[in-house]
Amino acid sequence: MKATRTVQKILSNYEADTPGVKANLCRMLMQGKLGGTGKMIILPVDQGFEHGPARSFAPNPAAYDPHYHFQLALDAGLNAYAAPLGMLEAGADTFAGQIPMILKANSANSLIPDEAPKDQAITASVDDALRIGASAIGFTIYPGSSQGLEMFEEISAMREEAAAKGVATVIWSYPRGEALDSAGETAADISAYAAQIAALLGAHIIKVKLSTDHLSLPAAKKVYEGEGIDISTQAARVADVMKSSFNGRRIVVFSGGSKKGADSVYDDARAIRDGGGNGSIIGRNTFQRERGEALAMLGKLIEIYKGKA
C-alpha cells in the first residue's frame, strides 16, 4: 500500500534509520482504519504479567485466550497489537501478516517484593521479534528508579541491535521509583521529561501516560511558571509532551490507565488529538469490556482521531 503524504512526512523525521525500520513504522502507520492518517491506536495486553490473569481477564473471560486479542485488534482496525513473547507466540501463525505486532521485551509483575527497586525483567530478544515477525520491540523504562540508569543501558543496547535488524523500538517511559512520589509520577513536567528521555534514547515511538497539572521538580516548576508554559488543559499538556519529543519529530502515543467510563476515554482521545499527539495505547478499557462494546468504543475512538467525533 502506497504511503500517504502524511505518513511519508512522519517517516522523514527518522533521519538516521534504515529502510528496514522505516518499513516497519510505515506498516504500523498504514494499518487499519487510521491507516495513512498519522494517527494510531495500539492494543497492549501485558496485564497478565503485570497484574495476573484473574485481574486482567476475569471481567471478560474470552480474553484468557491469546487469539481473542489478535482478533479484536484486527476487527477493530487498530494499528498494532503489543504483548509479551508467550502471548504473541500463541497466535503468531494463525494471524501471521494480518496485524503488526509489538513484542513487549521486558515485564514486571505484582509478586515483586515491595522493597525491591522498581525494575523489569528482559523476557524476549530482538531475534525473538524477527522470528515471530514482529514489527517492533516494546520496552519499559522507569526514570526515577535506582535501576533507571541500568534500564536505559539495556534499551540502548537492544535498540541498537533492533535498528540494525530493521525492527522499530517503542519505549514505554513510566516515571516511577524512589525519586518520585505518587503525584510526581504523572506530573506535567515529569511526563514531558519522560518523553524527552525516550526520544534521546532513540525511541521510534514513545508511550507516556496522560499527565495532570501538577508540577513536581522545583527547578522545573520555576521554569514552567516563569516562562508561562500552558499546562491547564489535557490538550495543552499533550502539546508540551509533543514539543518535548523533538518538537513533534517523534511519534507519541498516550495511555489512560485502568478501566473507566467511556466518556472519559473519549475525552482523553480528543485531548490527545487536539494537543497534536499521535494516538492512544488502550488495553484494559477495551479487552475488559464485552467484545461488542469494545468494538463500538474503538470505532468511536477512530472517529475522534479522524476528527469526526
| CA–CA dist 56, 59 (Å, integer) | 7
Name the residue nearer to a second copy (CB basis): 155 or 301: 155
Residue 115 within binding range of a second copy, rule CB under 8 A:
yes
Radius of gyration of the chain, Cα coordinates, nearest whole angstrom:
18
Catalytic residue among 68, 142, 174, 305: 174
Residues 177-216 that bind a second copy (CB under 8 A): 177-180, 189-190, 192-193, 195-197, 199-203
Least Å from the CB of residue 300 to a second copy? 26
| CA–CA dist 14, 271 (Å, integer) | 25
Set of cell numbers at residue 59: 471481567
Least Å from the CB of residue 244 to a second copy? 4
Type and span of the H or E element at 281: strand 279-281
Only one of the segments 50-58, 72-80, 262-270, 296-304 lies at the binding site for a second copy (rule: CB under 8 A); that segment is 50-58
Q: Which amino acid is at 272?
A: I
Nearest C-alpha neighbor of 45 from the set 31, 56, 59, 60: 56
For a second copy, the binding residue among 7, 25, 43, 87 (CB under 8 A) is 87
Strand-pairing partners, residue 107, are 121
Is 64 a known active-site residue?
no
Residues 216-255 that bind a second copy (CB under 8 A): 217, 219-220, 223-224, 227, 229, 240, 243-244, 246-247, 249-250
Catalytic residue among 22, 33, 39, 207: 207
Least Å from the CB of residue 301 to a second copy? 26
Residue 116 within binding range of a second copy, rule CB under 8 A:
yes
8 Å CB contact between 142 and 190: no
Name the residue nearer to a second copy (CB basis): 38 or 48: 48
Least Å from the CB of residue 192 to a second copy? 6
Least Å from the CB of residue 93 to a second copy? 4
Site string for a second copy, 20-39 (x = CB under 8 A): --------------------
Set of cell numbers at residue 261: 467510563
| CA–CA dist 104, 59 (Å, integer) | 23
8 Å CB contact between 69 and 289: no
Residue 160 within binding range of a second copy, rule CB under 8 A:
yes
Least Å from the CB of residue 272 to a second copy? 19
Residues 133-152 that bind a second copy (CB under 8 A): 143-146, 148-150, 152
Q: How many residues bind a second copy (CB under 8 A)?
A: 93
Only one of the segments 22-30, 32-40, 174-182, 267-275 lies at the binding site for a second copy (rule: CB under 8 A); that segment is 174-182
8 Å CB contact between 189 and 175: no
Residue 290 within binding range of a second copy, rule CB under 8 A:
no
Residue 259 within binding range of a second copy, rule CB under 8 A:
no
Nearest C-alpha neighbor of 134 from the set 168, 185, 86: 168
Is 142 a known active-site residue?
no
8 Å CB contact between 177 and 115: no
Count of C-beta atoms within a 10 Å radius of residue 63: 24
| CA–CA dist 32, 169 (Å, integer) | 20
For cell 477493530, name the residue: 76
Residues assigned a catalytic role: 174, 207
